[in-house]
Amino acid sequence: MATDYYDLLGVSRNASDEDIKRAYRKLARELHPDANPDDANAHERFKEVTVAYETLRDAERRRRYDMFGPDAARGAGAGAGDPFGQGFGLGDIFDAFFGGNGGGFGARQRGPLRGQDMELVLDLAFEQAVFGVRREINLRAPAPCATCSGSGAKPGTYPQQCTGCGGSGEVRRVRQSLLGQVVTASPCPKCGGSGQEVVDACVDCRGEGRRTEDKVYEVDVPAGVDDGTQLRLPGRGAAGPRGGPPGDLYLHIRVRPHPRFARQGQDLVAEVRVTFAQAALGTHVKFEALDGEEDLVVPAGTQHGRVFALRGRGVPSAHGRSAGDLLVQVVVETPTDLSKEEQDLLRRFAEIRGEDVAPADSGFLSRIRSAFK
């Protein structure tokens, strides 16, 4: 292999990065094995110019090459050979430099076109999202024409090979570029890429092979979906034209809020209200959970804000894992509008505990209120 990488690429030693890239892409198009399947010499030269390009495009490897030669430049960065990996084709080189489609060298799907994907918003109650539900949805979408069975052709006739593309489904054009002749491919405008054309069109679908209809589907919404979840129903979208495969249907879940429960991931969060006396002395509270009544034990001395976790009583996982927890937070309610007897009892209670409270003199309370006006 020649050791002068600049000579291999046909550039000077002070060539810019852009000059080196331009020179390499020209040589790569000329020497790539895909363009020279029977020329072993071209294959070897392609590998040589690739090693040269890989060395000179990297600033550090280029510096080491200029100072010490090719041996010093090896081992830093990518290895020799095809820099793009095994199986990298001629069209891929075009992609690497221009971000294009290889000028039509890549394979393109032929045959009837796929139908469009469709979207619907599905509103769910909070409980339905947590536990799952079977819902009926209505969709207006293109469906295969019953008259022509989706072919688009008049009954008794059949689609024929497209005369515009010869059945390939695409048309190719050759144009000149800086790299020489470039072949571009695009779907045939006459058959839409299917490779077939309808001579005698079905009168009901006008050759489209599909008609817009109202459909009703039953959908099983899994337990644990959340607001914003997207469900994909394969093949439930619009039918493709002239027998093409259908698209998919996407359901966007929208969950209505609950007056008592909120959701934090897989956990449910709620509040239980108790009086001062119940929190101090303890009590049993009948708590209505989403899945039934729960006898919640509030021990004596429970503080405001304490959270009780009911394990496994939260939201089931949509992926089959264990359910979350039901987190119940205690809210201690302070009594208002106390009767005189209740006030006397509380003052007696405070006196026993040595706690200072406002005296019964209403004028004192009025003065306090005035101070904050």
Output the CA–CA distances (angstroms, integers) from residue 152 to 111, 191, 206, 241, in the order listed: 14, 12, 7, 8
pLDDT surpassing 70 at residue 107: no
Q: How confident is the model at residue 163 (pLDDT cuts 50, 70, 90)?
A: confident
Tell me: the pLDDT tens digits for 288-316? 999 889 999 999 999 999 999 999 999 98
Which segment of 133-137, 149-153, 329-333 scores lowest on mean pLDDT? 149-153
Report the DSSP beta bridge partners of residue 74: none
- Averaged pLDDT for residues 57-67: 82
What tens digit of pLDDT does each residue of 185-213 get?
Answer: 888 888 877 788 888 999 999 989 999 99
* Residue 51, pLDDT score: 86
- Distance CA(279)–CA(297), nearest Å, equals 11
For 94-118, give one letter per residue: b (16+ CB within 10 A) or e.
bbbeeeeebbbbeeeeeebbbbeeb
Q: Say if residues 259 and 125 touch (Cβ distance below 8 Å).
A: no
Burial of residue 294, with CB atoms counted within 10 A of its CB: 0-12 exposed, 13-18 middle, 19 or more buried: middle
In whole angstroms, give the CA distance from residue 162 to residue 124. Answer: 48
